[in-house]
Amino acid sequence: MKKTLIVMFSILIGCSLVFCKDDPKQKALKHIEKTNKEIELLVVAASTWSKLQMAYNMETDKVGSNIEIGFTPPGASSPSNSSEYGYFKYKTNVISDKIVVWEAKLIESIGDCYDVFWTITADIDSDGKLKFKGKISGAGECLKLAPDFCKSENFKCDELVID
């Protein structure tokens, strides 16, 4: 009787820990769901960082570090120039007060996507105008994972290089 109730309950809820914990379909669905959230977070982080750079630039005529612009990268609890969260390692390098580079590096393969970097360079040109140059470089099917990188509603790169 007890076994019958467990089986019936499992059928009603779709899966139980006893019967489906190693179900490949369930694992694949959870992996896809996690991957989608990670990629969405990457795009949001890039957009947020860029908007904060724009605001900082309007106030100072410079670009700044994450600490200067108040950007908290995914996985960090306060503004920081590096962090690691999920499948990505985030890093910001200040080259000068006119050039700063934001980078997200994939540290774990996602299907056929591996060894990939997403970068945005905030650069103040000779006319004093802030420009953003995006770059996606890597191997495998990485481009399909972040199709909106540098094309969000609130932020677009002035240039996007894919290699």
- The CATH number linked to 154 is 3.30.700
Q: Specify if 125 maps to a domain.
A: yes
Q: Specify if 8 maps to a domain.
A: no
Measured torsion, CA atoms of residues 107, 30, 102, 82, in degrees rounded to the nearest 10: -60
Q: Specify if 41 maps to a domain.
A: yes
Q: Specify if 10 maps to a domain.
A: no
Q: Specify if 13 maps to a domain.
A: no
How confident is the model over 49-95, as pLDDT tens digits?
Answer: 999 999 999 999 999 999 999 999 999 999 999 999 988 999 999 99
Total domains, the chain: 1
What are the phi and psi torsion angles at 113 (to 5°)? Answer: -105, 125
Q: Specify if 121 maps to a domain.
A: yes
Q: Give the model's pLDDT for residue 131.
A: 94
Laid out side by side, the sheet with 88-94 consists of: 82-85, 88-94, 99-106, 113-124, 130-140, 159-162
How confident is the model over 104-143, as pLDDT tens digits?
Answer: 998 987 777 778 888 999 999 999 999 999 988 876 677 7
Domain of residue 54 covers 26-162
Q: Specify if 154 maps to a domain.
A: yes
pTM here is 0.79
